[in-house]
Every structure is written in structure tokens, then in C-alpha cells.
Amino acid sequence: MPIENRFVLLGKILFSYAHISTKYTLLRTKRFRLFVGPSCNARCEFCYYICYLQRRNNPSTEFLNKELEWPRLMGALDVDFSGGEPTVRSDLPELIAYAKALGYRKIAIITNGIVSGHTESYLAKLADKGLNDILVSIHGHDAQVHDALVGVPGAFEKVIKTFKYAKLTNIRLRTNTTVTTKNAKYMPELARLLTKFEPYAVNFILFNDWYSPTTQMPLMPNFEHASHYLKKAIEAISESVPKVTIRYIPFCFMEGYEKHIANFPQTPYDPDEWAPEVQLLSPDFGVFASHEKIPLMLKIKRSFIRGILTNRIKKLLTRIG
């Protein structure tokens, strides 16, 4: 039996559950995020990873293929490739193809749209390998605002082309916008721009300075100020876009718009967000220094447990085959 069929079958045997839902019930997401490395071709001034973007310790193709296997066996149905910037990897088509072979349902990249905006053929190639979902970052309603925030002249033009190419290749479009002190007032204009490209989902994410308060605090928007423009953005877009979310803002600042808020307690139930527990036994890449506070013994125990379970699952796959 082909490996992809064995993965799907074993996943159904071990982790199937009743998809029973009512208007009062939400199921936890089955989406997994695969971190493909810190390398990136942009220099967003609000980026948490800014100190690590030029690290060369990107995981190998073989390593990432193995990382795709484990969450699939744990019941993950969808995957987001993220970084860094996944499109700077030459093996991205190969990784996407393997994800498809393993039976992932929704296969997405989280991207700044710079590489994918060069030619239609790039996204067409990824779509041919299995890409059917794309989450594109756009942080301004025009080139002046967006390019300044991402630190790349011409980036806005590439993002707009990526939107167009996604539609031409039948890839579902979602967008992320980081809301800062420099672009908050332009959210209504950006919302109106996005409606032209018929995205499935639009996410407005309020920037916070949790990683580097000393240098990034000036970018953190005032909740009251930002909420004024976010409400206008919702009004401009909610009738034409199926899903609009505002992340990381207190409910009290968005009275009347609460259904659009997706903070930490809500995101595990958003099917377009990944589940942290799926990555419970995955290795810690240590992108943030704070992540290295995980006790060494816990890392060793996690790796040991994962090794035992992986070997047992491989034996089951052999028997099924």
C-alpha cells in the first residue's frame, strides 16, 4: 500500500472523531504550522524575528518532510508553511508535494508576496504540487505605507500581483495585516482595497511589543485609537468577505463587533489557525531567546517520547502495508 494511503488510513483509525457541531459548539482546529526556517527577503520593522533573519540554520528538506509526517499521524488535516519566508526555499514545491502525498487537505503558505508576485508561473507551479490556500501579508493601502513598513521598495506591487495570480490559479486567498501606530488610520482604505480581490478571510492583527519593548514599543497602537478605524474597516468589508477577524484587542474596545475578535482563547477554535498541541512533541527551533527557557529535561523527555511513538507507528504502517 502506498505510504500516503497508509498515513490516511492509520490517521482515521487512531484519531477519527465525530464531527458533530451545532450553532453552540466549536471544534478545535486541525491545522498545523510547519516552520521552514528564519530566512526572509523582507525587513519588516515590526518583525519579532528581525535579529534572526539571516541565520543559515534552516532545516533540511529531509527533516521538514519528517516534521510533516508526525502531525498528520496526530490527526492534523491542514498545514501552513511559514518562516521566515517560505518562498525563499528552492525546495518549497517538493515540500508541498509531500504534504499532499500525506493527505493534508488544505495546504497553505504564509508569505509576504514578494517572490510569488514576480510571475504567475510561480504560484501555478505550487498549485500543481498541491498548494490550495495562501495567506498573504499586506500592511498598507498603498505602496508608500506598505513598502516603508516591510523595508522593500516595490513590495506592495508584488503583493497586488500575488492576489491576482492566486485568483487565476484557483488558490484560496487570505490576508494578514499587522496594525501599528503607522498604519492604523488607513485600515478602512485597506479594507476597501481588499474587497476587489475577493479574499476568503481578512485578519487585522494588533502589534504588541512583547519581544522587544525597548525598541518596538513606539509601534504598538493605542487600543481606543485603533478600534475606531478597525470598526470602520469591518463595516466596509464584512458584507463581501466571509471571514473578518481582529486579533489581540480587549473586547471592551470593540463593543458591537465582538464576533470578529479572535484572541488567544478563541484562535484554537479557528479552523484557519494552527493548534499548538499538534506541535507538542515537535522540536523547539529556538527562534526566540525566550523559547529557550523550556527546561532541558522536558526537551529530552519530549524527544524520547516522540521517538518511541514514531517507531511504534512505523511498525503499524508496515503491518498495514
Q: Give me the pLDDT at residue 15, please.
A: 43
SS (H, E, C) 219-285: HCCCHHHHHHHHHHHHHHHCCCCCEEEEECCCHHHHCCCHHHECCCCCHHHCCCCECHHHHCCCCCC
Q: Give me the pLDDT at residue 320, please.
A: 58
Laid out side by side, the sheet with 243-247 consists of: 31-35, 78-82, 106-111, 133-137, 172-179, 201-206, 243-247
CB 84 within 8 A of CB 40: yes
CA-to-CA distance for 75 and 16, rounded, in angstroms? 8
Ramachandran category for residue 242: left, alpha or beta (phi over 0 → left; psi -120 to 50 → alpha): alpha
What cell numbers appear for 147 in the block?
513598502
Q: Give me the pLDDT at residue 21, please.
A: 40
Q: Give me the pLDDT at residue 25, please.
A: 54
- pLDDT tens digits, 198-227: 999 999 999 986 666 566 788 999 999 999
Q: Give me the pLDDT at residue 284, please.
A: 37
Q: Give me the pLDDT at residue 110, please.
A: 98
pTM beyond 0.85, yes or no? no
Report the candidate in 247, 41, 55, 35 with the shortest Cα–Cα distance to residue 150. 41
Q: What residue segments make up the domains of the chain, in order of their start?
A: 3-16+26-320
Q: Which CATH class is domain 3-16+26-320?
A: alpha beta
Residues of the chain below pLDDT 70: 1-26, 51-56, 209-215, 275-321
Count CB-CB contacts under 10 A for residue 59: 17
